[in-house]
């Protein structure tokens, strides 16, 4: 019997669920508030002028062309009526027989309102463009700033969070300053620019083996990134960042990558929630009491080997593939074993020829890890054109230390630039 399968969220999990269900004789409805799939791991390269934003996104309708029986709704989901089996959206209600919820996550500021007001994060394409505009505008302002202290504050960038995003962004930003902006602004003493990475724990990259963690720390410090361990940001303003010990860092740019929480739609559902707003699920990823509803990715809370599965892309991808197969199995009345996550490792790039990796049962760093990081990111990037464009950008930067996307696409007090002409922050979108 033909069933209607709705998939909310076209992130890593939703895309793989759609691939598994499409073409199997059922109606598949894809729902997302964006009309594209975003490759979030490379957002920081858009923010640091390394890649065009279009090169890390793929239109959902373009992908759905090859998925028989699939249609797409551009809509914002506001809730789900589980009894009536309907998704509530700003474009009307969408009925379903089976539902896969994979709306992802948003940045968690842990109740720090001043930080949320003044900090940048990277979850959407617009975030990356806004941050790039802000960084480049800060240097434009610094080059004409007569006050040395204010000039240095304009060139000070505080990054919170020593996970892969924070480490990769810090490395990319310091390379942008030293190898590119130093040539763009010969009248500016860019050696005075500061990139400060703040981590609350006693080391970076907590999921990595100790040897790789120490390598990352040494490498960043050799690149002149100031790494502050056992430190927490507790307050922020348009021109300063305050740490837990009372220290104040004069800085016009604060980037937050210290945590995530489930997407707001999770809070709109009348279901139990746990740490980070995540929804506890059964071993087969179904919602307790609703065997026709699956929750995947960052929204789902599932323990394995005594610990909750992390909110990372590999977990979402495996959950998405499993949920797609599970829906087909339920329709066919066939049994399916509980979900089990296979940890294939993790990696992070630090800069040119430098990365750390714990993958395929091996732990390595330096050039080999960097090369593996490049190849895997190209492999998982969706779209042949995107792979070519990203590869060409990487090759160009590798040989010439040049980043072509140094574009300020909006100026002034608009929301793209947190710092307005008066020195006050613009409202966030």
Told to judge if 27 belongs to the known catalytic residues of this protein, a careful annotator would answer no
Read off the tokens for 264. 């707001």
What is d(CA 185, CA 183) in angstroms, rounded to the nearest whole number? 6
What is d(CA 309, CA 306) in angstroms, rounded to the nearest whole number? 9
> Could you give the count of Cα atoms lying within 13 Å of 175 in the half-sphere of its Cβ?
26
Q: Specify the DSSP element, H or E, that contains 286.
A: strand 286-287
Neighbours of 192 (CB within 10 A): 12
The phi, psi pair for 341, rounded to 5°, reads -80, 130
Pick the catalytic residue from 116, 140, 168, 239. 168
- 8 Å CB contact between 231 and 198: yes
Which phi-psi region, left, alpha or beta, contains residue 312 (left: φ > 0; alpha: ψ -120 to 50)? beta
Q: Which of 186, 115, 190, 133 is nearest to 156 (CA)?
A: 190
Neighbours of 387 (CB within 10 A): 16
Active-site annotation, residues? 168
């Amino acid at each position: 019997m033909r069933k209607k399968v709705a998939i909310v969220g076209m992130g890593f999990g939703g895309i793989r669920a759609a691939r598994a269900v499409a073409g199997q004789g059922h109606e598949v409805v894809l729902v997302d508030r964006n009309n594209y799939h975003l490759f979030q791991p490379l957002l920081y390269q858009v923010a640091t002028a390394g890649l065009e934003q279009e090169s890390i996104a793929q239109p959902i309708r373009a992908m759905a062309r090859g998925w028989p029986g699939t249609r797409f709704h551009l809509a914002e989901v506001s809730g789900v009526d589980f009894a009536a089996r309907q998704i509530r959206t700003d474009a009307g209600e969408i009925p379903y027989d089976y539902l896969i919820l994979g709306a992802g996550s948003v940045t968690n500021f842990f109740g720090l309102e001043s930080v949320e007001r003044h900090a940048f994060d990277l979850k959407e394409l617009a975030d990356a463009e806004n941050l790039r505009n802000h960084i480049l505008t800060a240097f434009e302002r610094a080059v004409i700033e007569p006050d040395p202290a204010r000039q240095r504050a304009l060139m000070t960038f505080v990054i919170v969070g020593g996970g892969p995003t924070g480490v990769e962004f810090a490395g990319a930003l310091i390379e942008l300053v030293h190898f590119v902006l130093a040539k763009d602004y010969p009248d500016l003493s860019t050696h005075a620019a500061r990139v400060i990475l703040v981590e609350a724990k006693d080391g970076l990259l907590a999921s990595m083996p100790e040897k790789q963690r120490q390598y990352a720390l040494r490498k960043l410090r050799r690149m002149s990134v100031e790494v502050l361990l056992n430190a927490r940001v507790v307050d922020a303003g348009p021109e300063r960042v305050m740490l837990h010990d009372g220290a104040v860092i004069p800085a016009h740019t604060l980037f937050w990558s210290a945590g995530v929480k489930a997407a707001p739609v999770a809070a709109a559902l009348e279901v139990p929630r746990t740490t980070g707003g995540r929804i506890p699920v059964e071993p087969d990823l179904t919602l307790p009491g609703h065997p026709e509803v699956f929750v995947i990715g960052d929204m789902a809370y599932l323990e394995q080997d005594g610990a909750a599965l992390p909110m990372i892309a590999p977990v979402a991808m495996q959950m998405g593939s499993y949920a797609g197969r599970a829906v087909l199995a339920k329709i066919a009345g066939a049994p399916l074993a509980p979900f089990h996550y296979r940890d294939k490792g993790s990696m992070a790039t630090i800069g040119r020829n430098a990365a750390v990796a714990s993958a395929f049962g091996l732990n390595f760093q330096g050039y080999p890890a960097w090369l593996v990081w490049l190849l895997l990111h190209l492999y998982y990037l969706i779209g042949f054109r995107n792979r070519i464009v990203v590869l060409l950008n990487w090759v160009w930067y590798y040989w010439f230390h040049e980043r072509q996307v140094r574009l300020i696409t909006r100026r002034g007090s608009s929301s793209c630039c947190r710092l307005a002409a008066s020195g006050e922050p613009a409202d966030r979108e």
